[in-house]
Structure formats: structure tokens, C-alpha cells
């Protein structure tokens, strides 16, 4: 978008101001390039959003904003706050807001959608969310959708069994300038099967990584 706007402004400027001196043209062109470069830099330094809220700040600050958005705070443990509420048209979702305790900086959000007992419902949730994410962020940069093993499950029950045995590899990844979004089918033990959606903020994720490297 910005390169197109910049080219258009330059073209109009040159066509409508041919009588101006070369010095003035160079001055204004330099100004335009500097301005658009600043705007581009500003875009790449923005945080990834979750429900319209930038993934940034302390854990208490972020939890407070999520409560204002209608989530209930269920508790906090080991630098992760657990909330409950509705998200993307799905009721009773659980949300984990994660920080590195040493610097208390939010950098990751995980959404756990309601448990499902059938593959048709579980995969339906996955593909429904995948379609919505594609409409918003474009085609995913990476997709794997398969079952491990020599033979593929042929019915609903066997597919759900494969999920519980960690042999279901269904995930899609969107990489943006602001961070990464990961959609996957997951499970906890063999009984709970659900769709999981993760948001990883690039700016704060890099700060977390830098802190970890300092500790080495």
C-alpha cells in the first residue's frame, strides 16, 4: 500500500510542479520518502492484537482489559492468567495469557475452544476458524493436515482415537509483521480434544528471547 501511495504522490508532484526548481523538487521528494519510511517503520513496530487489544503490558494490565471485553478471570499460576468467555462466535472458551515472570510482559495468548466428542465437530471447528483467519490474514504460510501412521483412520471414532494418541497433525500458521498466529487440533490426555489458537507477539517475543539469552 505505502509504496503505491508514494509512487502516486511522486508522479502527481512531478507532473503538476514542473515549473518548480530542481532544488525544491529534491526537497519535497526527500520529505515524502522520509515520511513514508517512518509510516512503514511504525507499522512494523505495532503489536499483534487479540480482540482488538495489543498484546503488550503487564499481566494485571492485560487481564483488566480482557475483563472489560467480557472475560472472567479464573486465576493466575506460573505467570499465566486463565480467563473464560466467548470468542469468535464460540461460547465458553478458555484463554491463557502468558508472560515471562521475571519481566512481567505479556507476549502470548492461547485460546482453547470447547471440547468436542466427534471428529465431525472437532474438524468443523478447525476448518471454520481457518476460513475466518484466512479471510482476515490471507493464505496461511504453512499447513499440515494429516494423521501419522501407515494406515489412515476411516471413521469418526478411529480419527478421534488418533487425536487422543497424538497422531493427528492438523495445524495452520499465519506469519505477519506483528507476530505469528497458529491454529491446531490438540488434546489433553485421551479424553479432551479441542481446537487451539495461539497468538505470538513479535516485539515482546523478541524481548522474552533476549532475556532468556542473557540468562545463559
Residues 30 and 58 in one domain: no
DSSP structure class, residue 9: H
For residues 128 and 153, give the distance between their C-alpha atoms in angstroms, rounded to a whole number.
22
Q: Which domain holds residue 166?
A: 49-215
Bridge-based pairing of strands 49-50 and 72-77 is unpaired
Do 30 and 101 fall within a single domain?
Answer: no
| pLDDT for 112 | 98
Give the model's confidence band at 119: pLDDT under 50 very low, under 70 low, under 90 confident, else very high: very high
pLDDT for res 214: 80
Predicted confidence at residue 165, as pLDDT, reads: 94
Confidence at residue 212, expressed as pLDDT on a 0 to 100 scale: 80
- pLDDT 10s digits, 100-110: 878 899 999 99
pTM equals: 0.78
For residues 172 and 188, state if they share a domain.
yes
Domain count, the chain: 2
> What pLDDT, on the 0 to 100 scale, is given for residue 39?
39
For residue 21, the model assigns a pLDDT of 59
Q: What is the per-residue pLDDT for 104?
A: 92
pLDDT tens by residue, 5-41: 444 444 444 444 544 556 555 555 454 444 444 433 3
Instruction: Please tell me whether residues 184 and 78 are part of one structural domain.
Output: yes
Residues 40 and 135 in one domain: no
Interacting residues of 99 by C-beta distance below 8 A, sequence separation 6+ = 58, 59, 79, 80, 105, 106, 107
100 and 116, same domain (yes or no): yes
Average predicted confidence (pLDDT) for the chain: 85
Please give the residue that has the higher pLDDT: either 122 or 216. Answer: 122
- The cell numbers describing 125, all together, are 471447528
Do residues 15 and 71 both lie within one domain? no
The predicted-structure confidence for 42-101, as pLDDT tens digits, reads as follows 344 699 999 999 999 999 999 999 999 999 999 999 999 999 999 999 999 999 999 987
- Rounded to whole angstroms, how far apart are CA atoms 73 and 213? 32
56 and 82 part of one domain: yes
- Residues 55, 29 within the same domain: no
Q: According to the model, what pLDDT value does residue 13 have?
A: 46
| pLDDT (tens digit per residue) in 152-164 | 898 999 999 999 9
Pair (97, 204) in one structural domain: yes
Residue with cell 521475571: 102
pLDDT tens-place string over residues 190-211: 889 999 999 999 999 998 888 8
Rounded to 5°, the CA angle 89-94-95 comes to: 95
Q: Which of 37, 46, 27 is nearest to 6 (CA)?
A: 37
Strand order in the sheet with 105-112: 72-77, 80-87, 90-100, 105-112, 192-201, 179-188, 168-176, 142-147
Whether 95 contacts 199, CB under 8 Å: no
Amino acid at each position: 500500500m505505502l509504496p503505491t501511495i508514494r509512487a502516486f504522490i511522486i508522479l502527481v508532484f512531478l507532473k503538476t510542479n514542473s515549473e518548480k526548481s530542481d532544488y525544491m523538487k529534491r526537497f519535497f521528494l526527500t520529505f515524502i520518502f522520509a515520511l513514508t519510511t517512518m509510516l512503514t517503520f511504525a507499522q512494523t513496530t505495532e503489536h499483534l492484537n487479540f480482540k482488538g487489544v495489543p498484546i503488550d503490558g503487564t499481566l494485571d494490565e492485560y487481564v483488566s482489559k480482557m475483563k472489560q471485553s467480557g472475560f472472567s478471570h479464573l486465576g493466575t499460576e506460573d505467570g499465566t492468567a486463565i480467563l473464560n468467555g466467548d470468542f469468535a462466535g464460540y461460547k465458553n472458551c478458555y484463554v491463557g495469557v502468558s508472560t515471562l515472570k521475571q519481566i512481567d510482559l505479556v507476549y502470548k495468548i492461547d485460546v482453547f475452544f470447547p471440547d468436542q466428542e466427534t471428529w465431525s465437530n472437532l474438524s468443523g471447528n478447525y476448518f471454520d476458524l481457518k476460513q475466518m483467519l484466512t479471510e482476515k490474514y490471507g493464505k496461511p504460510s504453512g499447513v499440515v493436515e494429516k494423521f501419522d501412521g501407515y494406515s489412515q483412520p476411516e471413521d469418526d471414532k478411529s480419527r478421534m482415537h488418533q487425536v487422543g494418541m497424538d497422531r493427528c497433525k492438523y495445524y495452520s500458521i499465519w506469519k505477519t509483521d506483528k507476530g505469528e498466529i497458529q491454529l491446531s487440533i490438540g488434546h489433553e490426555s485421551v479424553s479432551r480434544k479441542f481446537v487451539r489458537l495461539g497468538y505470538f507477539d513479535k516485539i515482546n517475543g523478541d524481548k522474552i528471547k533476549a532475556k532468556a539469552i542473557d540468562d545463559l
